[in-house]
Every structure is written in structure tokens, then in C-alpha cells.
Structure 1
Amino acid sequence: MKQHTIIIIFTIIALSAVAISLLTYFISHSKKHELAPISTLNTTTTAKNQLTNGFTTKTSSTNQFNNPTTSISTCVTTTTVKTDTPTIMGIANTQVINISSSMKITTTMMNTNVQASTSNQSAFWNIDMPLNYGRSKFGSALLANGQIFVAGGYINSSTIISRTEVYTSTGWQLATSMKAIRATHTVTAFANNTKVLVAGGDTTASVQAAEVYDIVNNTWTSTVNNMSATRDSHTATLLANGQILIAGGWSLSHKSVSAAELYIPSLNSFINTTSMNIARAYLTSTLLSDGSTVLVTGGVNANKNLVSTAELYINGSWILISNSMTQTRAYHAAVLLNDGTVLVAGGGDGGTSAYSTAEFYNPISRNFTAVGSMQYGRGALTLTLLPSGKVLATGGADWASNIYPLVCELYDPVTRTWSNTLMLNQARSYHQTVLTKAIDCDVLGPQFTWILGSTVQLNSFSQADNAKLIGILTIEPVVASAVNEPTNTTLLNAAYDIWQQYEPETFPGAENVNAYALFTFDATWLLIRSLEQLCSITNNHSSPCLSIVNDSFCFNRRLLDSSLLFDIINNNTFLGVSGLVQFSANSTDRVSGVYYIVKNIQSLSNELNYVPVLVWSNSDAWTPHSQQNMIIWPGQSLVAPTGYATIAGVTLRIAVIEAPPFTMTQQVADTNGIITTKLIGYIPDLLAILQTNMGFIPNITLLPSTQSYDGLIDDVANNVYDIVAGDVTILAERREQVSFTDSIYDNSLRIIVRNTASASPDFWFYLRPFSLGVRLCILGSIIFAALLMYLYEGGHNDALKHKPTISRLVMSTWYPLGNIMGYGVDFTVKTGAGRFLTFSVFFLSLVLIATYQATLTSNLTLRQTQNIISGIDDIKNGKIPYGRIGIVTNSSIEAYYLQEISNGIRNFYPLRTEEAIFTSLLSKVIDAAIMDEGVLEYETSSNYCNLTLVGTGFDPSAFGIVFQKNWVYEQVLDVNILSLRESGTINNLKSKWFQSNTCSQSSDTSSGSSIEVMGGLFVTFAVMCGLSIILFIWLKLPIRHRLSQMVLNLRYRICPSARTPPDTPLDVQRPSDVTDV
């Protein structure tokens, strides 16, 4: 009887709790129709919790992207209930962010303490009361009374303040201001956290002064002396002996310092200690487990370079650790772990890059070991050691991507890995405010698709803004009856009757009761059923069936039969007012009866309404709500968004660099005769096609050819331009700063040299087929054959024997020469020996002519194709002096040369522009140059016909359009580039701009032998013709007769018997009579 009385009393109490819960949800939802705040959002309750050492519960939210779980510790003095309340987190830009299913937590009237839990679990962030002053680069410390003290900092980009605040249970209270304004200073609590030392800092210049805040008296006192050096961005570490070690920092002269000093609290003054081995600013300083050793890591040195070294401060001395960190770091964070090691994570250079890497320091081996990396690069982050031994990483900046992560991450020292926690989140009651701000910033439809976790009042927006709201989706948990699934209407009506009986003034009507109230009711009813079953099983009448072991510490209070109660809950299945209620031992989520509904904001009769379009359940996943209701997407479109932001109507700052044929200028005159400059080329045509397809508004800036390509990468990374289009090579090093589209031009490198057709003439080239020895042999053979012919035919051949001796010798010489040349002679041989000699000469002629012709043809062919080098291998082998090779500096060509040819030595001839390549070659300043194939092919076929390419292409690469990392329009640009490649448009542009050839029409360079090669032959022929002309003239001149008479007289003197008076006078003799002479 006693047992049943307890059950009845408990039932009345539980139903009263239901009524209070219903009233709470009605007030917060039905009356105001606002989104549930975080505290209400997480009211899903369960008795299935960890009851060791008190009621410690877990709230899980299963999510299609991750599985965040919140661990909530609380003192439980009220009934533990179990309910299923699906939770929707966040507002989504363009995609669904977070859809959570059923949760189990413990409801209580006590305050809860939210902590990050184990791997794959997350903490909810609640927006607390704001500071009186928005601050950055301030200092903070935890005081003895549990309050938080903050001091100084920037309140805007240039204003530094001295104001201080203290966080108490009632919010942030202003405290006495410091004596000086400070930022990037240190704030260190000491003397059992009853006093605070504020040292150094930036007051537009680094300062040496320090002051002490007394918490009890709320007063500031200056230290007896100043620090030995001006400092900001330094470290201050409280040692176990109560002294404070000050180290490093940024000096007044904008250099990091190595000086260190100790603050002595009993003297309220500083004393010097030994300096660090390396000057450091933006460093970390961590007190190790022994209480006296301090680990200092990373920072920026005196040369303003990031360092990876670390030092130990031991007994007044600094020891440089021989094993450096795995990466240079500044603006990083470090925290001492429970096992005595130190976790070092994040950091960056303060402006252009941030690191996601992490490592830990082992004080025994004095080694650094890399661990798993964080998801985001984080500079200026915060690391916090949690009671669980894990480390929470919050905030920071990824300067490379201009991202300030809202996602927190947990480091598990056991697995040495990081996992995500929940975002630093806006409470749901702020959704309407966020939407209003989104309208002001124009980030709603039609460019963006928003998905909300709850409905908002649509009548609070202006008529002009309604079009931007169309297409927004909301996703909310609902009870089974909302999707035509069965519910326990008998139980629900009984609950409504009790409500109307005891609090009729708060009952909103059955149709207006919020779904969260029904989830809470089912959780309560499940607990009532489970407790009833527990008490029916327990037969010990000496004590109540719900015995609780009391303890002065609330977390040690526990239910005696908690394990049995858990088993009952897991096996208790019933049809509740929200649908089928069922849990399992292997999951904290409800395994059935979970339903969601998606509503779509649509314009009906010129008014905005929520139209249900999709329904989700455990069994059917997403299904249409009805065939009549279709989703209207932003822009009042029936076509689902592509999943990436549209670029239509967006003005893009586009930079192009002048580099024919990619980008060129052309003067164009309009109908009025006004001359304007127009961009033409491969890139302008490509941009015009992209503009037509994508609808963006181009704002094009033409950069000169002297612009360095590496400088363009920096400009995009620093947001000077949105994109850069041109012959910019995709390199891994550049991808660290920016991103690229897919290839817009497949490129390789080529070598350009002067054309050999412009070489100096070789007058004796036609004699080159025979060597000097062969030529002498030919001459000797002709002379020898002439003597034999004179011997064989001189006295027997009628054509010779009547001739003078000289004439016979000449004719004998002419015979083999004419036969060898293939011309023939003026007489025929008469003797057998002469005929055989003729055969010998013919045979010699046949072989010599064939050999000459073949060799000359080969030489002419080789001469036409001969260049000083044949390809890249000749350059690597040093066939051309390196100083005669032209390379455009600050380009990918230079990077290739340094890596593949010179091993990092800049021994080439530096050129600033591509145009300098051609002018330097023509002026013979250089002998060869390396450049992109497309540019060289265009120039040598259109403008520089006396230059030529040698060898084949090497170092294949690709050109891409440059844009910032994580650019919102990245995907739509990539899709369009790929579409142009697949459709052949890219190939058509290549044919248009790279395959034209004007040199073939205007140049006299062809496959035939050039005048420079064959000029020597024609010069020789001209000389021989000249000699024949001189001989002809000689025979016609009168002096010839006198010379002939002199020769005859000389002859007669030598041989008087030859004197025969001529029949005619000498002066009238015929010229033929003296021809032989």
C-alpha cells in the first residue's frame, strides 16, 4: 500500500511538471511565434544517462554532416524525465547545415555547466552579456573570487584604451582604469590571484612601464622601476616561487628583443636575468610541471623572420633546445597537458598565412613530435585545457584564406588527433535579426538559398523585401499527427483535460500547443511508466523504491537502482502523444517516431506563407508532403539551385597582362573617327564567352608586359583583383596563396634561337663535298690523264699532230677534264690505248659526279636545318654559355631554370619582358631563350620570321585563371571552363590565335638552297666568265700583234731553221695563225 501511495504522489508531481512545461512552451512559442532560444532548444530529456557519481547526462544530436554531442553536468534534485526533441541548428547559406535528431538530457531547475565532452562530442555556446567596450588585443586574467578581469586593448583600428572591467554574476562591471593606455600587453594574476601585474604593451609605441592592480582595494600602483626594455607582444609567466618571468617582445625600434627580467612581488620591482639566445616576439611561454622551468617557442626574430627554435629557462639561464619545432611559428599557442608534455598548435606570419599543424614537446627527451593537424589554419588562437584532459582550440584567423573559424576543435592527447565541436553559434531567437541583417547586406535570394531551423514572423518585413524571402526553407521537428502518422489521442485528450481543469487560463487550444511541449510530455510519461515498473519490481518495503543516496556534494547523489531504471527505459515502447516512443541500449537517440517537415516561403495572393513541401521519417526519409505543393526556389524558380553561388550581375575586377597573342591592343576608329583602344587576343575572346555564359560585369585592367607574374599572384591574394586571366602557369607554390581554374591553355616550354638562314655566306660551300685530299687527287688524275693522252694521241691523231706543242698539251688536258665534267671534247681518240684511257676517265667521272651530287645534296639539307643547339639537352650540357641564355625573371620559366638546369644558380641573362627575348636575340645579346610555346609559336610565325624554334616541347604545364582561395564563385567559374573545354570552344580559340602564319607568305626562307649557301658557286662562275672576257678582249687589242711578233722573233733566234718567210707580212697575218701562241 505504501508503494502505491508513492507512485500516486509521484504521478501528480510529474503531471504538474507537464503542465508547467506546456505553459512554458506556449508562452515562448505560441504567443510570440519566435525561434526557441538555446536553453529551450535543448530541453529534450531522458532518464537514460550516466548516473555514476550523480546524474550526468549527454545530449546527442545526430546530423547528416557530423554528430555533435553535448555533455551537461548538473545537480539534479527534481524528477528525471525522458523525451525526444529533435533539434535544428544554425542558418544555412546555400546549403543545409545541421539537421539533428532526437536527444536525451536531464531537465532540472538548477543551472547547468556546459563542457566539451569526448571525441565527436561538442559544446553549445551561449551568448552572454557583452563587455562595456568592444576590445581586441586586450589582456585578461582569472581572479581569486572566480571573476574575470580584462584590461586595455583597441576599441577600433586606432584607439587604445585604459579602461578595465570585471565579470561577475551580474555581468560586466567597470573597474578603475589603468594609469596608461595599453594593447598587446600582458596581464598576470599573482599573490593567490588577488593582484594583477600589467606590463608593457603598445600605446602607439612599445612601453617599459608596468603597474599592479589590487583587487581588494580596486587601485592601481606603479612598479618601483620600469622594465629594462620596451616591449609589447611579449610573454609573462608566473613561476612557482611567485616571481613573474618577462621575456621577448617587440621593441620601440620595431625589432624583437632577447632581453628577459623577473618581477619580484615583495619588492614591486624588476631585476634583470640572462637574455634568451634568440630575440623573439609573438612567442609562447609555458611553465612546465616542475614549476620553475619555462619553455619558450617560436616567434619572430630580429630580422623579422619566423623561427622554429625553442629555449628553456632553468635556474636563471637559457638553454637553446637542439631539436627545433617541426615548423616555424609565431602568433601560435601552447598549453601544458596533464602528462607534463606541452601542446603547440597553429600560428602564422600575422598577415598572409596561418598554420593548422600541431606538435607536442616532451620535456624528458626534449624533442618535438608532430601530431594531427587542425581542420583550419589558426593564427592568434586560444588553447584551453579542459578538466577531461583534452584541449579546446577556439578562434584565431586563417589569414591565407581570410577565414575566421567559428568552429572550435578538440585535441585528444590519447589519439593525438583533433575533432570538431559545435560552432560558436547565434541563439535561435536571433534568427529574425539575422534575416534583417541579411536583407541589408543583400545576401538573400536569388543569389543565396537559406535554410532556417524555425519559422519567423513574415509580417515584420517590408513589401519590398518579400521577393528576397521567397524560396527560404525551414526545417522543424513535428509530431506524428502532422505527417498523418498515429498518435495516442486518448492520452493527449486526458492531458489536455487536466491542463484545462487546473490552469484553464493558460491553455492555448489543442491546435496551438507547440510540438516541443508534446515531446516533453512523452518524455515525462515514459519516465512515469518506467518508475511505475521499477517500483513494481522492487519488493523491499523497508525503504522507498526511489531511494537516493544523499551527499553534501550534489554530484555524488545517486539513485540506488539507476541501472535497473535504464534497462526499463530501454525496453519501454509505447504510442505517445508525439508518436511511437522507443529507445535502445546502443544509442542515445530515439529509434522511432522522429519526424521533420520542410516548409517553403511562397507568395500566395500577394502574401508570404509557409507551405509544407517535404516530410522526413525514420522509415521513408524525405518524401513530398503532397503532389500539389512544389518547392519555389529563390528567384521564384522551379529549378533547384546548382549548389554554388551565381555570378550573374556581379562586377569582377579582372586583371590581364599584355602578352601576344593572349592579350594585345588594337586601335579602332568608330564612325565619328574617334580612335579607341580595344583588347584582342585569346584571353579577351575567352572572357567575352565567359561573360555571355555567366552574366558577370567585367572591369578589366590591362597591365604592362613588365608586370611580374609572381606580383599578380600577390595582388589576387591581397584582394587587389578578383581574378587574373592570362598566361599564368599553375604551380604548386602558387596554389599555397591562391586557387586556379581548370586549364585554359595546355602549355609547354620551347627554345628560340636565331634562324641559320641569316648566317654569313660561304663562297666555297660547293667545294665542301670533297676534302682537300680528294680535290688534289682529282687534279693529279687530270694531269696524269692529260700526259697519257698527249703520249697516245699527240702524234697519231689528225686533230692534234698538226698543232703546235702547246696546243696539243692544252687539248690533251682538256680531254680528261671535259670527260670528267660530262661535257665532252672536240676530237675523238684513234688509238686503242687512248680508247682504254677514255674508259678509265669515264669511270672516274661516273663515280666522282655521283659522289659529289649525293654529298652536296646532303650538305645543303643539313645546312638548312642546322642550328647552334638541337634542344633542351644541349642547354643542360652547356653547349651554349649560360650567360647567353635569356630568361624572363619572376616567372615560372625562371623557377624551371633554377630547378632543372642551374641548381639554383642565377647564371642566366635576365630579361624583364617577353618582348626583350626577341630584341635580345636579334641584337645578338643572347643566343637562345626559353619561353612558353604558345607565345613563341605566334611570334615566330607572325612577327619575327628570322627567329626559329628548336627541339620539342618540354616541361608540360597549364595556364589557369587565378582567384582567391575559397572564392564564393569558384565552382561556377570552374564548371563553365570545363564546359568550354568539352564543347571544343577552347580548341577553336587556339586555332584562331595560334595557328595563323604570315611569315610563310612574306619570307624568302624556304626549303630551297639559299643564296648564302650557293653564292660561292655563282661567284666562281662569274670569275671564270670574267677571265673569258679578258681573253676575248686580249685577242682583239693591237698590242696582241706586237707581242706575237716578239714571240716569233724569240723563236727564230732560238731555232733559226724554223725561220720561213711568211707569204704575207706579219702585220696582216690572220689571228688564227698565232692563236696557239
Structure 2
Amino acid sequence: MQASFVIDLGNKSKIPIISFSTTSPDLASVRTPYFFQATINDSSQVKAISAIVHAFRWTQVVPIYVDNEFGKGIIPYLYEALEEVDARIPYRSVISPGATNEEIEIELYKVMTLQIRVFIVHMAPDLGSRVFHIAKEIGMMGEGCVWIITNGMTNLWSLIDLFDMDSMQGVLGLRNYVPRSKELKRFEKRWKKKFLQDNPDMVNAKLDIFGFWAYDATFALAMAVEEVFGTTNFNLDASNVSQNGPKLIQALSRTRFRGLSGDFGFINGQLESSVFQIVNFIGNGENGIGFWTPNYGLVKRLDVTNVTRYSVSKANLGSIIWPGDHQSIPKGWEIPIRGKRLKIGVPVKTGYTEFVKVTTDQSTNSTTFTGYCIEVFKAVVKEMPYPIPFDFHPIKIDEDESYNNLIDEVVYGKYDAVVGDISIVANRSLFVEFTLPFMESGVVIVVPMRNDVNKNAWVFLKPLSQDLWITSICFFAFMAFVIWILEHRINEDFRGPPLHHVGTSFWFSFSTMVFSHRERVLSNPARIVVVIWCIVVFILTQSYTASLTSLLTVQQLQPTVTDVNELLRKKENVGYQVGSFVQEIVQELKFDPSQIKTFNSIEHLEELFTKGSANGGIAAAIDEVPCLKLFLAQHCNKYTTLTTPTFKSGGFGFVFPKGSPLAADVSRAILKVIESNRTSKIENPLNNETICSSTLGSANSLSLRSFWGLFLIAGVAGVLALIYFVAAFLYGQRDVLCKHDTGISVWKRILQVLRNFDQRDLTSHAFGNMN
């Protein structure tokens, strides 16, 4: 407040105002060229704080700060810096500058009730020393706690007496780094001598960084005045100052030099962000463990010649003694009050008790919690690196309530966690923290099957697709032609009247389907073609037989509905499990509310299917895979799942409050349980039932795509045989084609060749045997 008042006076009088003690970031909002902040802004250290938090993987912190402009000015910047490293501030502890010890103790007890054990203290040394003294008395300076103090206390370490230092063992602190130099040593020696002359009773007085900033600010002002007014005739009155104020601020803005505090120069009226030293308070002193620089992050030494990028690795820090005289890194949170047990909510269900079952004994008024989800959670707790005391508490789910109500119970703090068959859904994760899934899931549609024996007289055509039928017939005709060409001149079976030629050729080709052809083939090319074609026919007929058998068998059990569009078109009723997030999926599919039914157990679902959609039941059920697998296991061969559409989900997970540090550790424990043999000892309901085939549908016809390779081989063999025969025949007819008798036309020569083709080839061994 004082600084703002003086700045306003300087702005009106056009006189530069230089401050070497105010560090509040709020002063940066004062838009006046006449104010120069010759200190490092408090907001410049929030990046160093967030780097430390990120290096040790702490996810939540509690700032403890003084309730004035100095304390509150840094908080918005701290929020922003921590968000960048995925850390949160769920609670702020504000202490009045004039708070009594009792008031400080009450506030610290509030902080103790939280799970968080990472504290950032931002206040002056006098108030901060009292806070640490009381924190030690109430047990907040022991194992598992992390305390980080800002430069507001660390820069003034010399003002803290030995008694208060004993309460700060293991604390980490940030200090503006001042490089040691010969000039600094000479200055400290001169200053101490002068100080002792003026104050002989103060023997151990030391100059802190504010003194260095004050000296450098005065030196900068002297340089600026010398630049503006020169070194002679330096005599100012009020009017001269007012007239030369703009020149003086320009000279101050240009001033650059190596001062006692390091490189000194103003940028937009502020000192540049500097290096921070990280110290660990041990005994009566401090131990430097590293540095933070704006360009390289955490470094062990300022020799950054080998550093190429920004780093937040804790390996770049030296060894740390944490509060309680421990070297193990605190996890940053703990169960807040000794003796308190986590309150774990468990949904009470009437169906699907294989996953969660809550049983109450009325005689003893005791409640038993069983089921796969409960056993997995117990196994996970055993894998945790630290004990977690907990108690299960039943949560009744009414007929008109969804599992989102369980989420609300955690959001409002009624329960510390919820365990059950709860699906990980995106909109739920906005309000709570899910662990990794311990059971994979998804959403499918189940429909009844009907006995649909196909009595169609033309069902025998279905095994092959239309294109395969056409291709097969064409190849039978092609093979008949090839065999006739190759055998016509040498085989009496392929001679005779034209109709006899055609009939015999097609008879031979089609009879290969049942391998009943009686005609012999005499030429080697024809034999090769026939062998290849028989192989093709054999594969084709066997595939046809298998496909027809499968087709007739599958068609006995056909789904009553093939897709969602059919359900919508016929306005059939559909059902989903009470409390499931599947309700949102059903609504997104555009089903009319009157078409939507709910079920709460396997028996209830079977009852709805038995009634049918026309009698108030359902024609299809939409639910998660684990639940419907249990249903199909009990009603095998009566229902099936549709292949489309399928909906993805995150699986089953445990629920914790948003930002809970337990969620990450439980997730790691889930991985250990899944990867170990302990899962084999947990009775999984999906492994102990005979699960029906997941999907049944109509048998698909065989298509040309599956056989084009065979047809290609047969076609190539036939074409090559034809080329060989034609080439040999034309070579034998070369005398006819190449006669020098000019009186015979080309057309007559071709006709003569064709007549020769129709004649017997008497040179063939077949006719040679006849002769």
C-alpha cells in the first residue's frame, strides 16, 4: 500500500520511483513508466516451485500464506504454474499477520485433517517462524510431510534465531542466488567495518540480498543521473527534476552493469528473472541441493555447458533430509487422522450378484460383502506399499436411480471411495478419479433366436454367390471348348456330327464335378488341363458342400433382429440394466421413451424376453459385456449378440474423489494384481460358466474373391494349351498358308486350313494304332 501511494506521487510529479524492497507481483499491474522495481518479482519463483513439485510427482499442495498484499499476490501465479504440471491446490490456508498462536494452531489443525502433506509457506520470517514452531508441536513436522518456503523467508534466513531453526529441520527453501565475486567480498568487508562502527553492539549482522539490491539500485540511479546531468554543476530543484524526469527514466531503462546481486538491468521497469538456489535446512544451517534456472530448470550446478533442454528431474538435485530426519521421499499425502478408516461405499443390488453381493444377517445385524469386484479390491489393498484401513458401507440403489448417484456420493464427500461394477465413463471422470480398469468391458446388443429351418426350394443356390456361379459356368464352357480343340483331331470320342461334338464336350466338362467322365483324353496338353481343372472342381465342390451344410445348420438358429435400424423401424421395445450408463446410449439411438424398459437381474431380463415386445416385454437388451455374458451362459442357444453396432467403454474401475492421491497408487496395485498369479485365486464369474458362442448369424455365401486364384491357374493352363496347339497346327499347315499360287485367295486358304483341322490327324499315335 505504501509503494502504491508513493508510485502515484512519482507518476504525478514525473519523478522516477525506485523500490528495492517491494516484491509483490501486484505492483506489476501499475502501468506507469516512472516506477522501477529493483527486486525480483515474487511470481518469478512459482516456476521453480512447480518444478520441485513435478520432480517428486506430488499432485496436490496446500499454500500457507499471510493474509495481506504480500501473501495474496503470488497465489494466482502459483495456481497457474502448478496446473501446468498437473498439480492442484484443493485448499488454501490463510493466516492473518496479527494471528495469535491459538489461531495459527486452529488453522494448522484444519490442514491436518486433509490428506495432503505438501505445504508451501509464503510469509515473512517473524510469522513463518511461529507457524513452524506450532506445526512441530502438533506433529506436522514428522515423517511424510513436505515443507517448501519461498524466498520471503529464505532470503531473510539471518533473521531466524536458533530456537526457530530447530522447528524447520528438513524444510526446502528457495533463495535468489547471488554469485560470489571479489567485488562482493570487498564490499561486505567494507560494509561490515562501517556497520560495526555505527552499531558496535551488533556483532553478527549480515547484509542480505535486499541490501545488495539497494546498493545496485543506488548505483544504477547514480549512473543515470550522471548520463543525464553530467558530473559538473549538478544542482537540482523541484522544477529541474520535473522537467528531466522523462530523460532520467530513459537513462535508467538503458542502464546495464554487473552489480553485487549479479547482472543488473531493468526490462519494462523490472529486474530480469534470476536463478534460484534450492536449499535444505539441516541443523543450524542450510545445505544447497541445486538450482533452478529459467532456461534449464533444475540443475545440480550452474555449469550448464552440457545441458541442452529444460529438465525437472529430481536426479538433478542433491540428497535431501526430509522432516523427521528421513531420506525417503515423502509420497505427499497420508490418511489424515490416525485411527480413521476409509469409508468405502458398495452398491446394493438385487441382480448380477456375481460381481457385487451385499448380505445382511438380521440376527447379528452384520453385513457381508462378497463378489468379484470386492475380492479384487481386497487383493489390490494387499498390494499397496502402505496399509489402508477401510470399512465397506452398503449404498442402496433405488429402481429409478443410476450409478451416477454413486458418483455423487463420492463428489459430496460422503464416501472416500466406491467399489463395484462401475463403468469408467468420460462424463463421470469429470467429477471423480477412476483407477485403471480391473475388468475390460463394452456394450453389446442381445436378441432372441428363432428356429428358422429354410424350406426354400432354391436354397441349394445360396452356398455360392452370383458372381461365383456365373464364373464357374463360364469356366465349364471354356474347359469344354479347350478339350474339344485339343482332342478333336485325334480322339474319336470328340468327333462325329456337330451336335455330338458339343454334347460330348460339355458332358465331359460338367461330369468332372462328380468325376464320372468316361471319355479318355489322348493328348498331353489336354491331360494337363484336365488334371488342373479336376483339382479346381474338387476344391469348389468340397467348399460348396461345406457351405451348404453350414448354411442349413446355421439357419436353424437365426436372430429375430439383425440390427438396430430394424428395431427402430419395427418400433420394438429394448431394455437396459437399472443404474447403468447404457441409458445414455439407448437415448442416443433415438428410441422412443415408451420403447425403453429396465431390468435388474438375469431372471428379470429373461422374463422381459419371454413376454416379447408386443406384450410389454422387450425384443432386445443393451448392456455391458460382462453382465450379458452371464445371461448368455444361463440361456445358451436361446439368445445371441449382434455383431453391429458395438460400443466401447473404459471397463470396470474403482471410484475416488477428484485429485485423490490414492487413485494413482491403487491403479499401480491393480496392475500388480493383474500381472501376478493372484488373479487366478480370485473367482471370476466369467471364467466359471460355459459361455455360448458370442455371435451367431446367417452363413455368408462363398464369393469369387475366395477362388479367383484357382480360376486364374485353370484359365492360364487352358490358354497356354490352346496357344501350344494352335502354334503346332499352323506350323503343320504352313504349306497351305504360304503357297505361291497367286490364284488362291487368303480366305480360301483359311477355309482349307479349317477343313484340314476337321480331318483326322493320321500322324497321331492314336490313329496309328488303328492302322
Query: Normalising TM by the smaller chain, what interval?
Result: 0.5 to 0.7
What per-residue deviation string (whole Å, max 9, x for no partner) do you get for residues 361-393 of structure 1?
xxxxxxxxxxxxx99xxxxxxxxxxxxxxxxxx
> Are residues 1:710 and 2:401 paired?
no
Q: Is the 8 A contact 2:105 2:134 kept in 1?
A: no
More helix as a share of residues: 2
Secondary structure of the corresponding residue to residue 959 of structure 1: coil
Q: Of the candidates 348, 361, 374, which is equivalent to residue 684 of structure 1? A: 374
Question: Could you tell me how far 1:988 is from its partner in structure 2?
Answer: 6.6
- 1:75-108 per-position Cα deviation (integer Å, ceiling 9, x unaligned): 99xxx99743564899999967999xxxxxxxxx
TM-score, length-normalised on structure 1? 0.40
Equivalent position of 1:468 in the other structure: 142
Is 1:456–2:129 an aligned residue pair? yes
TM-score relative to the length of structure 2: 0.53
Partner deviation per Cα, 1:464-500 (whole Å, 9 max, x = no partner): 6374387534343659997654443443444444444
* Distance (Å, rounded) in 2 between the aligned partners of 1:679 and 1:648: 26
Q: CA deviation at 1:631?
A: 0.7
Aligned CA distance change for structure 1 residues 628 and 901 (closer, same or farther; 3 Å): closer
Contact 1:723–1:963 (CA under 8 A) maintained in structure 2: yes
Distance across 2 between alignment mates of 1:613 and 1:863: 80
Matches within 5 A, 1:1018-1029: none
**Once the 2 structures are TM-superposed, how far is the Cα of residue 522 of structure 1 from its aligned partner?**
3.4
Matches within 5 A, 1:99-110: none
Matched, 1:571 2:250: no
Check conservation: 1:738, 1:965, Cα contact below 8 A. yes
AA aligned opposite 2:587:
L
1:693-738 alpha-carbon deviations (Å, 9 max, x no partner): 3333332223456453232233333333333333333444445554
Q: Distance in 1 between matches of 2:402 and 2:317?
A: 60
Can you list the C-alpha shifts for 1:863-909, whole angstroms capped at 9, x where unaligned? 5422322444442442xx524x333455322221221142x543233
Matches within 5 A, 1:980-991: 983=675
Correspondences of 1:21-36 after superposition (within 5 Å): none
CA-based RMSD: 5.8
- Secondary structure of the structure 2 residue equivalent to 1:955: coil
3-state SS of 1:747 partner: coil
- Match of residue 58 from structure 2: none
Q: Is the 8 A contact 1:439 1:465 kept in 2?
A: no
Aligned to 1:921: 609
Deviation at 1:583, TM superposition (A): 0.8
**Map of 1:80-119 to 2, 5 A cutoff?**
83-84=38-39, 87=42
How far does the alpha carbon of each residue in 1:139-164 deviate from its partner, in whole angstroms, 9 at most, with x for none? Answer: xxxxxxxxxxxxxxxxxxxxxxxxxx
Instruction: Report whether the alignment pairs 1:930 with 2:619.
Output: no
SS at match of 2:594: coil
User: What are the within-5 Å matches in structure 2 for residues 258-657 of structure 1?
Assistant: 436-437=105-106, 439-441=108-110, 443=112, 448-453=117-122, 456=129, 465=139, 467-468=141-142, 471-476=146-151, 478=155, 484-501=180-197, 503-504=198-199, 508-532=202-226, 534-536=228-230, 541=233, 545-549=235-239, 558=242, 560-564=244-248, 566-567=250-251, 570-576=254-260, 579-585=261-267, 588-590=270-272, 594=274, 596-602=276-282, 609-616=284-291, 622-624=298-300, 630-634=319-323, 636-641=325-330, 651-657=341-347
C-alpha distance in structure 2 between counterparts of 1:52 and 1:945, whole Å = 93
**Per-residue deviation, residues 952-978 of structure 1 (Å, max 9, x unmatched):** 261222235465764332652575277
How do residues 964-979 of structure 1 correspond to structure 2 at under 5 angstroms? 966-969=658-661, 972-973=664-665, 975-976=667-668, 979=671
Q: Is the 8 A contact 2:445 2:623 kept in 1?
A: yes
User: 2:444: which partner in 1?
Assistant: 750
Q: 1:736 to 1:87 in 2, by over 3 A?
A: closer
In the alignment, is residue 993 of structure 1 matched against residue 662 of structure 2?
no
Distance 1:511 1:96 in 2: 33
The one-character-per-residue Cα deviations of 1:532-591 (angstroms, maximum 9, x if unpaired) are 554425x6x5xx5434339xxxxxx83515424542564352443xx4352155662147
Q: Tell me the equivalent position of 2:717.
A: none
Q: In structure 2, what is the Cα distance between the partners aligned to 1:945 and 1:95?
A: 58
Among residues 870, 891, 896, which one is paired with 2:580 in the alignment?
891
> Aligned letter for 2:641?
V
Is the contact between residue 422 and residue 653 of structure 2 (CA under 8 Å) also seen in structure 1? yes
The superposition leaves residues 836-877 of structure 1 with CA deviations (integer Å, 9 ceiling, x where unpaired) of xxxxxxxxxxxxxxxxx9999668613542232244444244
CA contact (8 A) 2:300 2:317 kept: no
Q: Indicate how the Cα distance of structure 1 residues 756 and 666 shifts in structure 2: closer, same or farther if over 3 A, else same.
A: farther
**Does the residue aligned with 1:711 lie in a helix, a strand or coil?**
helix
Contact 1:468/1:634 (CA < 8 Å) preserved in 2? yes
CA-CA distance at 1:632 after TM superposition: 2.0
Counterparts of residues 59-78 of structure 1 (less than 5 Å): 70-72=28-30
Structure possessing the higher relative contact order (Cα contacts under 8 Å, 6 or more residues apart): 2
Is the CA contact (8 Å cut-off) linking 1:726 and 1:959 kept in structure 2? no
1:660 alignment partner, SS class: coil
Q: What's 2:539 paired with? A: none
Whole-Å separation in 1 of the counterparts to 2:547 and 2:28: 91
Residue 645 of structure 1: how far off its partner (Å): 6.8
Q: Provide the secondary structure at the position in 1 that maps to 2:648.
A: strand
CA distance in 2, matches of 1:654, 1:90: 40
Offset of residue 740 of structure 1 = 3.7
Whole-angstrom CA distance in 1 between matches of 2:406 and 2:345: 8
In the TM superposition, residue 127 of structure 1 has moved relative to its aligned partner by 8.8
Q: Does the CA contact (< 8 Å) of 1:716 and 1:723 recur in 2? A: yes
Cα distance in 2, alignment partners of residues 957 and 59 from structure 1: 59
Q: Secondary structure of the residue that 1:546 maps to in structure 2?
A: coil
CA–CA distance in structure 2, aligned partners of residues 737 and 98 of structure 1: 24
Q: For each residue in 1:116-150, what CA deviation from the matched residue of structure 2 results, as whole angstroms up to 9, or x when unmatched?
A: xxxxxxx973699xxxxxxxxxxxxxxxxxxxxxx
Confirm or deny that 1:906 pairs with 2:594: yes
2:744 matched residue in structure 1: none
Contact 1:938 1:994 in 2 (8 A): yes
Equivalent residues of 1:648, 1:696 under 8 A apart = no
Q: Distance in 2 between matches of 1:938 and 1:681?
A: 14
Do 1:599 and 1:610's aligned partners in 2 also have CA atoms closer than 8 Å? no
Number of aligned residue pairs? 526
Contact 2:442 2:647 in 1 (8 A): yes
Map 1:238-253 → 2, pairs under 5 A: none
Letter in 2 for 1:613: G
Higher strand share: 1
526-535 or 888-897, which deviates more: 526-535
Q: CA deviation at 1:687?
A: 1.3
The 2-side partners of 1:630 and 1:692 are apart by 31
Q: What corresponds to 2:470 in structure 1?
A: none
In the other structure, the counterpart of 1:788 is none
What is the CA–CA distance in structure 1 between the aligned matches of 2:39 and 2:270, rounded to whole Å?
Answer: 10
Per the alignment, in what secondary structure is the counterpart of residue 869 of structure 1?
coil
Alignment of 1:695-706 (within 5 A): 695-704=387-396, 706=399
Q: Distance in 1 between matches of 2:691 and 2:129?
A: 71
Counterpart for residue 506 of structure 2: none
1:306-330 CA-partner distances (Å, limit 9, x unpaired): xxxxxxxxxxxxxxxxxxxxxxxxx
Map of 1:803-882 to 2, 5 A cutoff?
A: 861-862=553-554, 864-878=556-570, 881-882=571-572
Separation in 1 of the partners of 2:177 and 2:559?
A: 87
Provide the secondary structure at the position in 2 that maps to 1:882: coil
| Identity across matched positions, percent | 14
